[in-house]
Amino acid sequence: MLAHHGRFDYSAIVNRPAFRWPEGRGLAVYIALNLEHFAYGEGLGISYSPGIPHPNTYNWAWREYGNRVGVWRLLELFDRLHLPVSLLLNSEVYDHCPEVVAAFRQRGDEVLGHGRTNSEHQNHFDETGEATLIRDVTTAITRFEGQPPRGWLSPGVNPSAMTPDLLQEAGYTYLLDWPMDDQPVWMKTRRGRILSVPYPHEVNDIPMIAIHHGTAPAFAEMIIDNFDEMLEQSRRQPLVFGIALHAFLVGQPYRLRHLRRAFEHIVAHRQDIWLTTSGAIARSFAECVPAPSAGRS
């Protein structure tokens, strides 16, 4: 037999428990904004200059544009359209540009753990090192936000085989690392359960724009088409639509204009959807579909 992760069994989406989101809504929509900081001249990164080691000056500065400019333009958009945000936070941002996190705190947005920096991936650590990384992030967020984070996305979406266990043991209730479904999925851990909330691999500006070189209009149309189709599907069963963003990409002026068009389309249907955060989705699902008892899938 093929190797198996052992976290959950196969489940066809057409054979799931019946439930609805709050107020009887069928489609839950959330915006995941990745707020990241990179070491200069070392570690991991994403390059728009092939053949040059990264992160180099050109690419470091490209990412930094998001923290200095792009994120503030996005905040204006979120405020104008009254959009809640799930902030996926590198804890090093607290030292680098604390006023950015303060702006989201003032809005009351949810803060999730997203590693210390995207210059390192959890999959490169042993279990002790990864546990320390998670503890560092949790301590920083708790200190600044007044409460511990409940959700997590691994830097580079590159968790280790132990990540679900370590997160559950550290007090996290859900993670975003497994893009395998349009509904939340309970995952087994060595000491209990943790919930996988859908996080998009495709409706995500990194693969769409930075890897596949999609255009700004095409990304907006992707968001709109995915929303319209999922809204129709959600009349039959509840679904989750996440939109993953990075300020250095969609905060560029020519992309922001098209992103605004996509979000205006979504908020025009505000009465038909649950526009919320990933954490609220996790809590609501856990109330409607409690974790299976020990020994069950």
List the CATH number of the domain containing 97: 3.20.20.370
Say if residues 167 and 190 touch (Cβ distance below 8 Å): no
Which residue ranges in the chain fall short of pLDDT 70?
43-55, 294-297
Six-digit token string for 149? 């984070």
Domain assignment present for residue 16? The answer is no
Asked, for residue 14, whether it belongs to a domain, the answer is no
Alpha-helical runs (H) found in the chain: 57-65, 71-81, 93-96, 98-107, 127-145, 163-169, 205, 216-233, 247-250, 253-267, 278-288
Q: What is the pLDDT of residue 84?
A: 98
The count of domains in the chain is 1
Question: Side chain identity at 231, as an amino acid letter?
Answer: L
- Token pair of 23 as six digits: 């107020």
> Does residue 9 fall inside a structural domain?
no
What pLDDT score was predicted for residue 293? 78
Per-residue pLDDT, 52: 60
Cβ proximity of 207 and 201 under 8 Å: yes
Residue 262 is predicted with a pLDDT of 98
pLDDT of residue 276: 98
- Identify whether 35 is part of a domain: yes
**How confident is the model at residue 45, as a pLDDT?**
66
Whether 145 is in a domain gets the answer yes
Residue 10 in domain: no
Q: Which domain holds residue 123?
A: 22-288
225, part of any domain? yes
Contacts 24+ apart (CB under 8 A), 12-16: 13/181, 13/182, 13/183, 13/237, 16/183, 16/237
pLDDT for res 1:
86
Residue 3 belongs to some domain of the structure: no
Residue pLDDT, tens place only, 157-206:
999 999 999 999 999 999 999 999 999 999 999 999 999 999 999 999 99
Burial class (CB in 10 A: 0-12, 13-18, 19+), 28: buried
